[in-house]
Structure 1
Amino acid sequence: MGSESTLSTVNEGLRQTPLMPAVERFKYSNRVLLRSILGRADGGIGLAGEKLLVGGWVKSGDEKKKPENSVTLPPAPPVVKDVTCSEILISRLPILRSIMKILTGVGCTALSPGKLDGPAKPVPTVAYLRINDGSCVFNLQIIVDSYILPLSQILPAGTSVLVEGMLERTKVAGKHAVELKVEKVLHVGSVDANKYPLSKRTLSMAFLRAYPHLCPRRTPVASVARIRNSLSHSAHQFFLSNGFINVHMPIITTTNSRAHGKVLGIASTSNKAYDNLRNVQEAKSLEVIRTAIKEKNERIEELKRSNSNKESLLIALQDLQKANELALLLEHQQPSTSRKTKEDFSENFFAEETYLSSYAQLHLECYACSLSCVYSFGPTFQAEDALSSKSLAESWKIEVELAFAELEDAMNCAEDFLMYLCHSILEHCPHDLQFIYKRIDSKCVERIKSMGSSPFARITYTEAVEILKKETVKKFEDKIEWGMNLSREHESFLADAVYQRPVIIYDYPKDSKPFYLRIRDDAKTISAFDIIAPKAGRLVQGGQKEERLEKITESVRKLGLGEEDYDWYLDLRRHGTVKHSGFSAGFEEIVMFVTGLDDIRDTIPFPRTRGSTDT
């Protein structure tokens, strides 16, 4: 009862979907989207009696005997065999049947009662299928008669169907308010039930992760995808409605400040560089052949000592000769295999060392210093060795930069942005959130509402350290001292246990954050901030950029980054400098916060982690 009461409260808190006046047909196929039927406030009852074309994938199905009082097509006429006059007499006179049985040892069955017809007609059955087209969390029940097609073709889970029929109110009370009585089956995408990996009704997220090309057909993955889509749309909507300009940032870069972890280098080879790579591969082959030659020589010596099989010895000598010839050929083709080939970036495709971008902040500043307020939403890459459940090699970031803005302005913008996402997801994904509440995290709606309804807590890094050092009940794995980076454990304790809401931590030690952030007047801290949220941890990192040329130049020199590599970045300080601030929000971390998922790999369609690039 308690669980039902809680769920009822959740449903009341979520915005009810308004009654749709008419059915929604997909513009490019005339197919009716299931969300326009089942997402209505009446569950689709108002559309009963309409003829609809729907498609989807079978989630589950049952075959049952057709009720006797249901209307069926007229049966085919019976097939009667040709009979002789004697067979008719025997069938009419019982005494003749007895005599025939004594004489032949078998009875006369040619015209026994009930045997005049041909093969027995199969019992008519009906398939009750639950299908889903991905437009909503709900499944539509469709009813297919066995006279339309063999039901074995459409019963297996995963089968795709396109059907036309009449929408009717469900006769039996249950979770389905309406069902579709199928009149035509226009398409069937069959499934080999013995090989389809998602046939079981209950599968873990870890199991589904092994089939990224099929797993969106399962409701948990589909719900996360729809929530991710809604969050993406709302992110763009927030910035565009507040005067920001969307700018696409480069994925390939030569900038490597090592400020955002390890980077993924690009090993694009061409011309001579390709030849060098091929030579290295040939050198490895040569080593394999030399090892084989050594083994063949040992085998030949053994055969000579035994002096027992001259034929085997002859074959081994011929084999050795071929191996020596192949080794000699490779030696001529690769004269420099004895020394390690050093990569020459002048022969690289880009003629210099390049990386996949791990952040867009520096490049985004260029456009902020011209267009004032800009944002970017795109993929970033890191080569971290962290746990695959917490870190991705390829992830998506929302990066923001505001000109004429200081630290507090960026903090306010980031807070408003996260609160906006919370209000938006409650409004646009009520049914998916209900499913997440029941199947993944019963605290998801409460957590989203909390973030969207009250201001975030704000503390300095120094205050955070003092709180953690005073804690006596909780024992941390990493002892905290001023100047150290806060661990995930420290951040989670502050957000989950101390404040029980999002926390903004700002004014970090100078050496704990990237070089391009503004040094404060105390010369010990910088204008940086993080937003830590319950369940998901760090959602946002940001700060005010260093606009003073002498300060930023000193930081570049101190880190040994090379002024010539950052000359374009320093130019922003030489020509029309301005105070500017910004932040970066991890999109997968936001999805984790909303859904309550524990593994970050489940928040993205095709996760890339160390040693794993499935599909």
Structure 2
Amino acid sequence: MSSEQPHVKVPSFSTYSNRIIIKTILARPDHGVGLIGQPVIVGGWVKSSREFRKEPPAAAPENRGGPKDVSCVEVLQTKLPFLRAIIKAFGGEQRIRDKLDAIVPRLPPQPSISILSISDGSCPASLQVLVDSSLASPNRVMPTGTCILVEGLMQKPSLQGKESVEVRADKILHIGVVDPGRYPLSKKRLPLESLRDSCQFRPRTTTVASVTRVRSALTQGTHAFFRENEFLHVQMPVITTSDTEGSGKIFQVLTPRRTEQCPNIETIKASIKDKNKQIEELKRSASNDEALVAAVDDLKKTTELLSKMENEEKTRHGKSRGETSRASSSDEFFSKKTYLTPSGRLHLESYASALGNVYTFGPRFRAKRSETKKESAEMSIVEIEMAFSTMEDSMRCAEDFLKFISKWVLENCTEDLKFIAKRIDKLVVERLQLILTSTFERIAYSEAIEVLKKVAGEKFKFESGISLNEEHESYLADEVYKKPIVLYNHPKALAPFYARSNDDGETAATFDVILPKVGAVVRGSQNEERYDILNARMKEFGMAEREYEWYLDLRRHGAVKCSGLGFLFDAMVLYATGLNDVRDAVPFPRSFGKIND
């Protein structure tokens, strides 16, 4: 029998950092036990800590035959904490404490070991690191949030606990200290709503870190799905000149005015008054004609400046809304009004009309005072457009896409989902599997109305013809069908202007995919390819044709049937993590009246 030891696979260093990722240690089948005895470099942030004090070595007795002589200093040293407490209680002055320190030398700190649980964000689990006080004092390395990079040896846990391995630090490579009094995560188990005011630190919590990793997996799965199905990724503009949804709830982009370089109106008026006095004096003296001419010319320029600034002020306050101030427009970066886009589908359609199947993924903005916790002012949305396709094709694509990314998260976020099931929502895995195993129920909007009418008054208020709200969608998906549903053929009045009108003249070729718990995660449509009908719809919405000439051109020249959808990415993060508020699912939330750095 061979006496050779089995080969131990040592975890590799991070590609761009001289350290080993904690996940490569703890995610092994043996949880890192096979690495015992191996040297490693690990780093992370302290999640929790405790101190183990070493027993001082016993001193050899000097006098076995009688009592040991104890010096006065030694007696005072043993009573020093008591004396300090008395001085503090009676408001002793600093000079008294300083004298006491001079008389009675401080005892050397007792040797100890700092036991740190550190995380580098690669997985929910933490790695235990032991730091001897001879390497770094406990008050430097133990506070929660301290960043530490150590070089040491993998070993069996030296103390009882749930850890399978630990690292004994032999060398400290870096310490990023923390001020516990000001660091917001020093408190234990802060609620998610409290963390919203500390967005720069909240990813250091295990909960937000797990949510972020799930979000990242959804992003990777999104790109993988479209890559496998031969979609081209196209970056769409964030700044646009049109309201791409026709809702009017958009953010306008303005260039900050350089007011710090210009005097204010009152200052200019005072200057004009002084210049008039100066001119009167020059006229009375009649001693310097050149000075008088120069003063009159200066007054003229100053008066013109005042007139210009007053016109700008009127325009700014809406007193001359119908006029375009050249002075005002010259300060703007763009030659016409611009906005943050609420949707990229119109622009994306121009690429679908040339390249076939395309998708984009980016931020979209809506200046809407939302009453739901599922939307925010800035949202991440995946949008697709497919040439030569109908609404039926987009509905199938939406279903395949949701199944693909749900499977992707289940396969790639096992440990995070276990943590989320323990801390946030125990049904999170079951909910993702529901998408995989379900056949999505397809319901016409009119059919959904009839279902809701039957329970109106018992469950909620309902009026025919209104847009289904979050409560209605939740009832259909959670109570009636208990699985994902596809709601299609909405009334034209509720559809976007570019949605294709159906032959019944009452409905449009639109659809929503609604999931239990979170409601709508996909909103899609077949686009209106008929020029006359699209133009008429735009007039119904009160949209200026000149602002959408480029979009109408797609109907004038080589029109093609096209369909697409918008996938509400943040809502899917809520579904996959069990969170209830989108502000906890995005890195830096923006909502009405609230914005974090």
TM-score (norm 2): 0.80
**Structure 1 unaligned regions, length at least 5:** 1-19, 76-90, 98-106, 288-329
In the alignment, what sits opposite 2:45? 57
Q: Secondary structure at the match of 1:468?
A: helix
Asked if the contact 1:170–1:179 (Cα under 8 Å) also holds between the matched residues in 2, the reply is yes
Q: How far apart are 1:145 and its partner, in Å?
A: 1.2
Task: Rate the CA distance shift 1:489–1:50 in 2: closer, same or farther, 3 A.
Answer: same
Query: Which residue of structure 2 lines up, in the alignment, with residue 398 of structure 1?
Result: 382
Task: Report the CA distance shift for 1:425/1:108 in structure 2 as closer, same or farther (over 3 A).
Answer: closer
1:501-512 aligned at under 5 Å gives the runs 501-512=483-494
Matches for 1:246-265 after TM superposition, within 5 Å: 246-260=233-247, 262-265=249-252
Distance 1:49 1:473 in 2: 69
Give 1:149 deviation, angstroms. 2.0
Measured after TM superposition, the shift of residue 337 of structure 1 is 4.4
C-alpha separation in 2, matches of 1:221 and 1:331: 59
How far residue 65 of structure 1 moved from its aligned partner, in angstroms, is 1.5
1:484 to 445, 450, 466: 466
Q: What is the CA–CA distance in structure 2 between the aligned matches of 1:421 and 1:449, rounded to whole Å?
A: 11
Give 1:111 shift: 12
Aligned residues: 515
Distance 1:108 1:501, change over 3 A: closer
CA contact (8 A) 1:450 1:501 kept: yes
The TM-score, its normalising length taken from structure 1, stands at 0.78
Asked whether the 8 Å contact 1:260–1:359 carries over to 2, the reply is no
8 A contact 1:468–1:480 mirrored in 2 = no
Secondary structure class of the residue paired with 1:526: coil
Q: Is the 8 A contact 2:499 2:510 kept in 1?
A: yes
Please list, as runs of the form range in 1=range in 2, the aligned pairs for 1:422-437 lying within 5 A after superposition. 422-437=406-421
Letter in 2 for 1:570: L
Q: Distance in 2 between matches of 1:44 and 1:490?
A: 50
**How far did residue 558 of structure 1 move?**
2.6
C-alpha displacement of 1:57: 0.4
Counterpart for residue 182 of structure 1: 169
Instruction: State the SS of the aligned residue for 2:184.
Output: coil
Cα 1:498–1:388 shift into 2, 3 Å: closer
The structure 2 residue matched to 1:593, chosen from 564, 570, 575, is 575
CA 35–108 in structure 1, closer or farther in 2 if over 3 Å, else same: closer
Q: Specify the code of the residue in structure 1 equivalent to 2:195.
A: L
Aligned partner (choices 378, 383, 389) of residue 373 of structure 2 = 389
Q: What is the CA-CA distance between 1:391 and the residue it aligns to? A: 2.5
CA deviations on 1:444-476 (whole Å, 9 max, x unpaired) are 111011112221111000010000001157421
The aligned residue for residue 584 of structure 1 is: 566
Query: How many angstroms apart in 1 are the aligned matches of 2:445 and 2:165?
Result: 57
Query: Does structure 1 residue 208 correspond to structure 2 residue 211?
Result: no
Matched, 1:612 2:594: yes
The CA distance in 2 between the partners of 1:31 and 1:547, in whole Å, is 56
Does the 8 A contact of 2:246 with 2:541 survive in 1? Answer: no
After superposition, what is the alpha-carbon deviation per residue over 1:474-498, rounded to whole angstroms, capped at 9, x for unaligned? 4214x230x3211111011111111
Structure 2 residue runs of 5 or longer lacking an equivalent are: 1-7, 79-104, 270-301
Counterparts of residues 490-569 of structure 1 (less than 5 Å): 490-569=472-551
Structure 1 pair 214–443 and aligned structure 2 pair: CA distance change class (3 A): same
Q: 1:165 to 1:552 in 2, by over 3 A?
A: same
Relative distance call for 1:517 and 1:574 in structure 2 (3 A) is: same
Q: 1:178 to 1:555 in 2, by over 3 A?
A: same
Matched residue type, 1:402: M
Deviation at 1:387, TM superposition (A): 3.2
**CA displacement at 1:27 relative to structure 2:** 1.4
Report matched runs for 1:211-610 at 5 Å: 211-260=198-247, 262-268=249-255, 282=264, 334=306, 337=310, 340-341=314-315, 342=320, 344=325, 346-347=329-330, 348-387=332-371, 389-471=373-455, 474-477=458-461, 479-481=462-464, 483-610=465-592
**Cα distance in 1 between the residues matched to 2:444 and 2:374:** 26
Q: More displaced, 462-471 or 35-44?
A: 35-44
Structure 2 letter corresponding to 1:32: I
- Check conservation: 1:269, 1:349, Cα contact below 8 A: no
How much has 1:152 moved relative to structure 2?
Answer: 1.3
What is residue 128 of structure 1 aligned with on the other side?
115
The question of whether the paired residues in 1 share the 8 Å contact of 2:245 and 2:343 is answered with no
Moved more, 547-556 or 21-30: 21-30
Question: Is the partner of 1:370 in helix, strand or coil?
Answer: helix
Distance 2:71 2:164 in 1: 56
1:396/1:587 contact within 8 Å kept: yes
Q: Which residue of 1 aligns with 2:148?
A: 161
CA-CA distance at 1:260 after TM superposition: 4.9
The answer to whether the 8 Å contact 1:283/1:337 transfers is: yes
Per-residue CA shift, 1:16-69, capped at 9, x if unaligned? xxxx95413101222000000111222111211110000000011001112679
The AA in structure 1 aligned to 2:402 is L
Q: Secondary structure at the match of 1:516?
A: coil
Q: State how far apart, in whole Å, the 2-side matches of 1:497 and 1:142 are.
A: 49
Residue in structure 1 matched with residue 287 of structure 2 by the alignment = none
**Aligned to 1:529, what secondary structure does the other structure show?**
strand
Q: Contact (CA 8 Å) 1:282, 1:334: kept in 2 or not?
A: no
Amino acid at match of 1:444: V
Q: 1:460 to 1:262 in 2, by over 3 A?
A: same
Q: Which amino acid aligns with 1:181?
A: R
Distance in 1, matches of 2:265 and 2:370, equals 34
Percent identity, please: 41
> Which moved further from structure 2: 548-557 or 233-242?
548-557
